Amino acid sequence: MSTLKLENPMRRLKIEKVVVNSCIGTSGPRLEKAAKILEMLTGQKPQIRRAKKTIRGFGIHRGEPIAVRVTLRGKKAREFLEKALKAVNNKVKASSFDENGNISFGIREHLDIPGTKYDPELGIIGMDVSVHITRPGYRVAWRKRARSKIGSKHKVTKEEAMKFLREEFGVEITSE
């Protein structure tokens, strides 16, 4: 038997999901074009998101479709995250991390993502990318039967998420 202490597999971090969101603010052809762009980038059909309340100043009415989003898991999530990080030059602000180890950052133009070509019919959209980082065993908090809490020592911290992104994706974390 080796003298090396093996790492506990329940302490390994993994990417649970990557959510790509693009808020257009209006329904109609612009929203449909944004949906086509997200489908091209991710390979999945996006969900249409509706406004929760009316905001007269912006001309938004309750129930009006205003955004599109896609949730990626597994291999697709990892591949898209690699491309999205290249779009921001593998640099992420430390303020982009929350206390639970999740990270969110924005991409100004979808053309910044490598391998994307400009289509004049579709135009250009920006998007938000949110990454949820977990450990094995988080399912006990989400399942329907015998739901339980996650211990504080098992939760992912901001520092652990930063270290994970540095090692796995070569991300440089900047202070501002």
pLDDT of residue 1: 47
Q: Name residues whose C-beta falls within 8 Å of residue 104's C-beta, 6 or more positions apart in sequence.
A: 96, 98, 128, 129, 130, 131
Residue 147 pLDDT > 90: yes
| Total-model pTM | 0.88
Average pLDDT over residues 127-141: 93
State pLDDT tens for residues 6-40.
788 888 999 999 999 999 988 889 999 999 999 99
Average pLDDT over residues 145-150: 93
Helix (H, G, I), strand (E, B) or coil at 120: coil
Residue 101 pLDDT > 70: yes
Nearest in space to 96 (alpha carbons), one of 161, 153, 156:
161
Secondary structure of 36-75 in HEC code, one letter for each residue? HHHHHHHCCCCEEEECCCCEHHHCECCCCEEEEEEEECHH
Q: Which two tokens stand for residue 96?
A: 């982009």
Average pLDDT, the chain: 91
pLDDT grade for 4, boundaries at 50, 70 and 90: low
Average pLDDT over residues 91-112: 93
Average pLDDT over residues 49-56: 91
> Could you tell me what percent of the chain has a pLDDT over 70?
97
pLDDT of residue 60: 87
Helix (H, G, I), strand (E, B) or coil at 99: coil
Query: Sign (positive/negative) of CA torsion 42, 48, 49, 51?
Result: positive
Instruction: Give CA–CA dist 112/68, Å, rounded.
Output: 19
Domain 11-174: assigned CATH number: 3.30.1440.10
